C-alpha cells in the first residue's frame, strides 16, 4: 500500500549564509547568486514572488533519502537568504515542478508521486502553510502514468493544474487540465489530444478563461500548440505551428502582457536543439515567429515579460559545457541584452520571473569536481542585461532531514560528501567520524557503498 507523504524529521540543519555575493554594475545594480544542495541531486523548477515579500521555490532533492527523490520547497527573503526549507516524500519517487500562492499566503505545489495514489505515477498537489507545514495533499490519476507540471490560481476560485496523462484521454499520452478547489477537491478535468502523444506544459488564466501550451503529435511529428479555452473548458481557438523543416518542436512556456502572448520552446533539429519565439494576439493572430538557429544547442525553458520587454531563459551547450543563458528582447523582437552564467561548471535556468525588484532565475548547477547538481537561484537587478565577466560567488544553504531508520551501522564502509555535494572520501569506515584526522572541521554526509543508507555528521 502506498504511504502518506510526510515532511521529514529535521535531524541536522546547516545554513551557510554569508553577505550576498555582489557584482556591482552601478551603485544600485547587484547580482545575488545562491546555491542550495546536499550530498546528492537538487534542482529548482519554479520560483515565485510572495505577497509577504521574498520568494518561494519548488524543486526536487535526492539528498535526504538515498536512492529516492523528494519534493523540496524553499522560502527566501528579498536577498535570496533562506528563511526555511522543507522536504516532502514517501517511500518512492516524488518530484516537485510547479508552485503558486493562494490568497492567504499558503503555497500550492504540484508535481508527481510514486509514493501514493491510484496506480503508477500520479499527479500530486500539496498545500503548505507560510511556515512550511503540510496542510493537505491530494493525488489525481488512474492506473497508468499521470504528471502535474504547472499550477496557477483560477480567476473564479480554486486552481488550475496542467500536466499529462496516460490513464485517460484518447490514447497514448494526452494533455490534461484540472480545476480543483482550495481543499484539493476535483471540480472538473479536461483531456486534450488525439491518438498520438500530446502534452500540456504551461497554463495561465485570462479574463474569460485560460490559455495552455504544449504540443500535438500529428503523423509522428511533434507540433507546438497553443489552446485558448473559456471557463467551461470549451475550446475558443487552437494555434498549431509546423516547423518548416519538419522537425519536432514543443511549446514549453508562455507569458502574457495586456494584448500579446509570447511562447517559447525547443526545436529538435538533426543532432542539435534550437529554440523558437512566437508572438500571438489574444485573437490567435500571428505577429511574428523567430527561430534561434546557432551552431550550439540552445534551449529556452521559460519566458517572462516586463515593461515592454521579454526575457527568454534556458541554457546553451557548447564543447561539452552547459551554461545558463538569458536573452532579453523588446516585444518587437529587437535584441536588448544577454547574460550567460560563465564558469567551468554546468548550469541551466529552468524558470524566470521579472518585476520592478529585478529579474529572478532558478534552475541548477553542477560544481566543479562533483557529479551532483545543486539548486541555483539568481537575482539580477541591473536594468541593462550584460555578460558578467566575473564569476559570482555561490552560497550554499540547505536543510537536511534524515530519519533514525536510515542510520548506518558501526564499521560500515561508504563514501563521504561535503555540504556542496563534492565527494571528499571514496572509501570511509563509519566508526567515530568526529575523530578522523583526515577530515577537516565541517558538516558531511556519509553514504553506504550500496547506496541504501545515509547519515549526516559533524567533525569538530
Q: What is the secondary structure of 423-456 as a DSSP string?
A: EEEEEEE-S-GGG-TTS-SEEEEEEETTSS-EEE
> Quick one: which of 128, 13, 32, 138 has its CA closest to 75?
128
What grid cell was written down for 167? 490513464
Cell 507569458, residue located: 255
Tell me, what's the pLDDT at 24? 29
* DSSP 8-state code for residue 383: S
What values do phi and psi take at 434, rounded to 5? -70, -15
Tell me, what's the pLDDT at 404? 37
Do residues 185 and 200 lie in contact, with contact meaning Cβ atoms separated by under 8 Å? Answer: no
Q: Give mean pLDDT in consecutive 10-residue pieces for the chain, a chain of 460 residues.
A: 42 30 38 77 94 94 75 91 85 93 96 87 95 94 92 94 90 92 96 90 94 95 95 94 88 93 92 91 91 84 93 88 88 83 78 92 82 85 60 50 56 76 79 64 74 69
Cell 532533492, residue located: 61
| Number of CB atoms found within 10 A of residue 259's CB | 10
Report how far residue 310's alpha carbon sits from residue 256's, in angstroms, rounded to the nearest whole number: 10
- In the CATH scheme, what is the code of domain 6-400? 2.130.10.10
**β-bridge mates for residue 390, sequence order:** none
Give span(s): CATH 2.130.10.10, the chain: 6-400
Report how far residue 367's alpha carbon sits from residue 341's, in angstroms, rounded to the nearest whole number: 13
* DSSP 8-state code for residue 296: S
Task: Count each helix (H run) and each strand (E run) in the chain, helices first.
Answer: 0, 37
Tell me, what's the pLDDT at 2? 46
List of residues 6+ apart from 395 with CB closer than 8 A: 16, 17, 18, 20, 21, 33, 34, 35
Residues 293-307 as b/e (b if ≥16 CB within 10 A, e otherwise) read eeeebbbbbbbbbbe
* DSSP 8-state code for residue 245: T
Q: What is the pTM of this model?
A: 0.82
Pairing of the two strands 82-89 and 6-7: antiparallel
Report how far residue 76's alpha carbon sits from residue 22's, in angstroms, rounded to the nearest whole number: 17
* DSSP 8-state code for residue 156: T
> Quick one: which of 182, 181, 178 has its CA closest to 190?
178
> Quick one: which of 17, 73, 69, 22 has its CA closest to 50?
73
Do residues 408 and 454 lie in contact, with contact meaning Cβ atoms separated by under 8 Å? Answer: yes
Tell me, what's the pLDDT at 458? 67
Amino acid at each position: 500500500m502506498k504511504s502518506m507523504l510526510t515532511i521529514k524529521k529535521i535531524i541536522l540543519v546547516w545554513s551557510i549564509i554569508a553577505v550576498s555575493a555582489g557584482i556591482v554594475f552601478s551603485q544600485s545594480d547587484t547580482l545575488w547568486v545562491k546555491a542550495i544542495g546536499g550530498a546528492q541531486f537538487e534542482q529548482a523548477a519554479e520560483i515565485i514572488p510572495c505577497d509577504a515579500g521574498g520568494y518561494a521555490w519548488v524543486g526536487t532533492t535526492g539528498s535526504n533519502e538515498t536512492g529516492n527523490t523528494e519534493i523540496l520547497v524553499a522560502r527566501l527573503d528579498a536577498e535570496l537568504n533562506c528563511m526555511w526549507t522543507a522536504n516532502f516524500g514517501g517511500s518512492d519517487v516524488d518530484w516537485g515542478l510547479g508552485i503558486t500562492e493562494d490568497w492567504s499566503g499558503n503555497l500550492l505545489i504540484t508535481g508527481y508521486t510514486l509514493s501514493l495514489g491510484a496506480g503508477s505515477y500520479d499527479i500530486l498537489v500539496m498545500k503548505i502553510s507560510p511556515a512550511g507545514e503540510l496542510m493537505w495533499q491530494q493525488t489525481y490519476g488512474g492506473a497508468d502514468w499521470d504528471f502535474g507540471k504547472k499550477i496557477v490560481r483560477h480567476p473564479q476560485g480554486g486552481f488550475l493544474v496542467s500536466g499529462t496523462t496516460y490513464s485517460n484521454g484518447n490514447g497514448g499520452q494526452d494533455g490534461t487540465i484540472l480545476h480543483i478547489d482550495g481543499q484539493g477537491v476535483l471540480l472538473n478535468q479536461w483531456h486534450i489530444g488525439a491518438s498520438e502523444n500530446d502534452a500540456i506544459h504551461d497554463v495561465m488564466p485570462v479574463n474569460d478563461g485560460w490559455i495552455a501550451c504544449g504540443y500535438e503529435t500529428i503523423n509522428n511529428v511533434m507540433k507546438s500548440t497553443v489552446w485558448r479555452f473559456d471557463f467551461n473548458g470549451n475550446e475558443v481557438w487552437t494555434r498549431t505551428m509546423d516547423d518548416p523543416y519538419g522537425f519536432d518542436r514543443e511549446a514549453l512556456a508562455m507569458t502574457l502582457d495586456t494584448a500579446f502572448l509570447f511562447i517559447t520552446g525547443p526545436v529538435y533539429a538533426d543532432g542539435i536543439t534550437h529554440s523558437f519565439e512566437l508572438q500571438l494576439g489574444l485573437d490567435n493572430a500571428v505577429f511574428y515567429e523567430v527561430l534561434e538557429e546557432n551552431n550550439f544547442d540552445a534551449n529556452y525553458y521559460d519566458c517572462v515579460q516586463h515593461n515592454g520587454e521579454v526575457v527568454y531563459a534556458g541554457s546553451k551547450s557548447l564543447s561539452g559545457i552547459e551554461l545558463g543563458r538569458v536573452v532579453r528582447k523588446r516585444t518587437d523582437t529587437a535584441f536588448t541584452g544577454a547574460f550567460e552564467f560563465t564558469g567551468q561548471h554546468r548550469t541551466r535556468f529552468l524558470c524566470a520571473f521579472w518585476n520592478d525588484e529585478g529579474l529572478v532565475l532558478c534552475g541548477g548547477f553542477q560544481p566543479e569536481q562533483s557529479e551532483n547538481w545543486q539548486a541555483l537561484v539568481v537575482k539580477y537587478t541591473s536594468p541593462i542585461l550584460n555578460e558578467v565577466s566575473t564569476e559570482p560567488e555561490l552560497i550554499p544553504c540547505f536543510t537536511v532531514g534524515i530519519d533514525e531508520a536510515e542510520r548506518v551501522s558501526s564499521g560500515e564502509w561508504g563514501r563521504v560528501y561535503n555540504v556542496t555535494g563534492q565527494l571528499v572520501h571514496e572509501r570511509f569506515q563509519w566508526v567515530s567520524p568526529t575523530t578522523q584526522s583526515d577530515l577537516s572541521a565541517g558538516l558531511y554526509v556519509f553514504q553506504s557503498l550500496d547506496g541504501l543508507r545515509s547519515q549526516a555528521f559533524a567533525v569538530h
